[in-house]
Amino acid sequence: MEIKVLQDILSANEALARNNRKLLDANGILAINIMSSPGAGKTSLILKTINKLKGKAQIAVIEGDVASTIDADKVQKAGIPVVQINTEGGCHLEANMISKALSSLSLKDTDLLLIENVGNLICPAGFALGEHKKVMLLSLPEGDDKPHKYPAMFTQADVVVLNKIDLRSLVDFDVAAFHQAVTGVNIKAKIFEISCKSGEGLEEWLSWLNDELALIRAKARK
Ligand code: MG
């Protein structure tokens, strides 16, 4: 019985995610679902991306948090339209929440939508939002074994971003073993090593994002 309920929830979510995707495609918007544990640097990556792409892309942000508007306030300060979703205990975003958030954004004035999921390494993997790409962010202090311990998050990722690479000499993190572990569960994922703090490696991330934006724009002939 419990399995049936879960399947119903998941299939309802899938249907809503497909609707979101249609709406995003109709408006030529590239949507990126950014997932990680709390503190890995999702907001920092979003703020760095805004800083580098502002003026070159029309960006909007959806912030998912259990509570507070701390991250949304930072995005708003950067002059970017932002919608805060408080899940009030929920450990992940769901497609119906994104659908509501999309209705309060000016879609015709957006071509890149960055969605910050709730900080969690388990639940976000199970819920499609209608996004085009999933980005899994991991930071060095979390340890290089996470692809083994939380494989679903890494299996589904289009891009794995390894943040806080500037801490490499301070923490025991085997970067080569991490690459191997990611490749072991997901041969297709691109891996970028970055530091939001020092700016190291951000060009690669931005270049990937620009390529994806160009593809969406070409499709939508915006
Ligand atoms: Mg955050």
Query: What is the side-by-side order of every strand in the sheet holding 190-193?
Result: 82-86, 59-65, 112-116, 30-35, 133-139, 159-163, 190-193
Q: How far is the CA of 173 from the centre of ligand 1 (A)?
A: 23
Write down the pLDDT at residue 172.
Answer: 97
- Give pLDDT tens digits for 188-220: 999 999 999 999 999 999 999 999 999 998 888
Instruction: Please give the structure tokens belonging to residue 139.
Output: 């930071």
Q: How far is the CA of 71 from the centre of ligand 1 (A)?
A: 5
Q: How far is the CA of 92 from the centre of ligand 1 (A)?
A: 13
**Using an 8 Å Cβ cutoff, are 130 and 20 in contact?**
yes
Q: Position 54: which residue type? A: K
Q: How far is the CA of 203 from the centre of ligand 1 (A)?
A: 21
Write down the pLDDT at residue 7.
Answer: 78
How far apart CA 176 and CA 189 sit, in angstroms, is: 15
Spell out where 119-221 has E strands: 133-139, 159-163, 190-193
Q: Position 59: which residue type? A: I
Q: How far is the CA of 74 from the centre of ligand 1 (A)?
A: 10
- Give pLDDT tens digits for 149-190: 999 999 999 999 999 999 999 999 999 999 999 999 999 999
Q: pLDDT category, 2, cuts 50, 70, 90?
A: low
Q: How far is the CA of 2 from the centre of ligand 1 (A)?
A: 32
How far apart CA 196 and CA 165 sit, in angstroms, is: 9
> Which of 126, 82, 86 is closest to 104 using CA atoms?
82
SS3 (DSSP) at 51: helix
- Give pLDDT tens digits for 59-84: 999 999 999 999 999 999 999 999 99
Global pTM? 0.95
Residue 1 has pLDDT above 60, yes or no: no
How far apart CA 197 and CA 166 sit, in angstroms, is: 8
Q: How far is the CA of 69 from the centre of ligand 1 (A)?
A: 10
Question: Once rounded to an integer, what is the mean pLDDT over residues 18-26?
Answer: 97
Q: Note the CATH architecture for domain 2-221.
A: 3-Layer(aba) Sandwich (3.40)
Q: How far is the CA of 4 from the centre of ligand 1 (A)?
A: 33
- Give pLDDT tens digits for 24-38: 999 999 999 999 999
How far apart CA 185 and CA 199 sit, in angstroms, is: 28
Instruction: Please give the structure tokens belonging to residue 16.
Output: 């809503």
Bigger pLDDT: 35 vs 221: 35
Q: How far is the CA of 200 from the centre of ligand 1 (A)?
A: 20
How far apart CA 83 and CA 63 sit, in angstroms, is: 6
First-residue to last-residue Cα distance in the chain: 47
Q: How far is the CA of 38 from the centre of ligand 1 (A)?
A: 7
Domain ranges of the chain: 2-221
SS3 (DSSP) at 175: helix
Q: Position 209: which residue type? A: L
SS3 (DSSP) at 106: coil
Q: How far is the CA of 3 from the centre of ligand 1 (A)?
A: 32
